[in-house]
């Protein structure tokens, strides 16, 4: 019986909770058109929500009254920096992009490329904190929004 419970829990994570995480995460932040990649539970320390912005998304990242959420999983920054940043996809570079380096293998190459382009060109916004554990990307020109976390 315990094995059945564990199997059902894993099935629930894979089939239900992970795919819905990005939609739930962005629900009260900004309108999205569709989820590109989503993972709430992980055995590789990568948690992410990546989506296409909706047509009526603002041109700048929204500032939320509840930005200082006590729940790390649903935190949203209020101190954004404009791009470009020169992300380094290795651990010797900018620590703000380490979460991308460690987690990018989870997504199709085009998603990783689009996020890297959004960071390296002007017109987007990012927040990498603390020491690269969380990376937030808001790219209205590219129609992308992402929250990537590498860590426990």
- Domain spans, the chain: 2-150
Cβ–Cβ contacts within 10 Å for residue 10, how many?
Answer: 11
* Residue 71 C-beta-side C-alpha neighbours within 13 Å: 4
pLDDT of residue 105: 86
pLDDT of residue 43: 67
What local confidence, expressed as pLDDT, does residue 66 receive? Answer: 56
Q: What is the pLDDT of residue 6?
A: 43
In this structure, what is the dihedral angle of CA atoms 140, 141, 147, 151, given to the nearest 10 degrees?
-150
Amino acid 139: pLDDT: 96
Residues of the chain with pLDDT under 50: 4, 6-16
> Which residue reads 């999983």 in tokens?
73
Write down the pTM of the prediction: 0.81
């Amino acid at each position: 019986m315990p094995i059945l419970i564990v199997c059902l829990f894993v099935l629930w994570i894979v089939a239900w909770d992970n795919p819905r995480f990005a939609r739930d995460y962005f629900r009260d932040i900004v309108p999205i058109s569709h989820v590109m990649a989503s993972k709430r539970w992980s055995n590789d320390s990568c948690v992410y929500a990546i989506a296409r912005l909706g047509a009526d998304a603002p041109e700048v990242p929204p500032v939320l009254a509840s930005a200082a959420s006590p729940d790390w999983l649903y935190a949203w920054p209020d101190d954004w920096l404009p791009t470009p940043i020169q992300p380094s996809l290795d651990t010797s570079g900018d620590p703000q992009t380490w979460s991308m380096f460690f987690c990018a293998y989870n997504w199709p190459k085009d998603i990783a490329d689009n996020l890297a382009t959004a960071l390296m060109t002007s017109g987007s916004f990012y927040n990498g904190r603390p020491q690269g554990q969380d990376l937030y990307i808001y790219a209205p020109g590219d129609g992308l929004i992402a929250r990537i976390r590498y860590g426990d």
